Amino acid sequence: MKKFIPLIVVGVLFIILAIWWPPKALASAEVTLDYLKEMILIMPPVFLLMGLLEVWIPKEKIQNWLGNSSGLKGGLLSVLLGTLPTGPVYVAFPLAAYLLEQGASVRNIILFLGSWAALKIPQMMLEIKFLGLKFAVVRFFLTLFFLLIVGQIMNLAFKKKREFL
């Protein structure tokens, strides 16, 4: 029952908006439906890929590839995984949780989530088009640099206690 509370809250928000400002409510509903359609197309294959990953790739492999001793290779792999064109960041949370559970380092998960959110390839193409090549390239490398720092800090923060939930 508890998990339905957020759903009820947004439902109420929609109703309030519909009474108070009908055109905006209509616009909101249209946007929601648009993205719902896109999600319905994207979620099942992403989750299926996750399922296949979980079944076929042994824990030790992931630990080797993305664990604390994976070094530069692990970092590069995390960024590469993140930049693949694969849907919005909230799709990445379950995947990140799974990788952490399998022994990926916190630093690599930050790199993975960060590049998934901010350095996606299709997104970069839009960025170059609207803001120019120089802006996009500088932002790419600066973001990567800062993600490394955030990853390092969070690695330290979780070093003693690798507990997440």
Partner 1 sequence: MLTTIVIYSLLAVALIVSLMKSREKTLMAVKVALRVLKNSAISLIVILALVGLTLGVLSPQTISKILGKEAGIWGTLLATLIGAVTLIPSLIAFPLAGSLYRSGSTVATIAAFITSLTLVGLVTAPMEIKYLGKRFTLLRNLLSLFVALLLALIMGVIV
Q: Which range in 10-18, 63-71, 72-80 contacts partner 1 by CB under 8 A?
A: 10-18
DSSP string, the chain: -GGGHHHHHHHHHHHHHHHH-HHHHHHHHHHHHHHHHHHHHHHHHHHHHHHHHHHHS-HHHHHHHHSTT-HHHHHHHHHHHHHSS---HHHHHHHHHHHHHTT--HHHHHHHHHHHHH--HHHHHHHHHHH-HHHHHHHHHHHHHHHHHHHHHHHHHTTS-----
Considering only 64, 68, 87, 140, the residue that binds partner 1 (CB under 8 A) is 87
Shortest Cβ distance from residue 72 to partner 1 (Å)? 21
Residues 64-83 that bind partner 1 (CB under 8 A): none
Provide, rounded to whole angstroms, the least separation between the CB of residue 10 and partner 1.
Answer: 4
Contacting partner 1 (CB under 8 A), which of 15, 49, 76, 80?
A: 49
Q: Which residues in the 105-124 window bind partner 1 by CB under 8 A? A: 106, 110, 113-114, 117-118, 120, 122-123
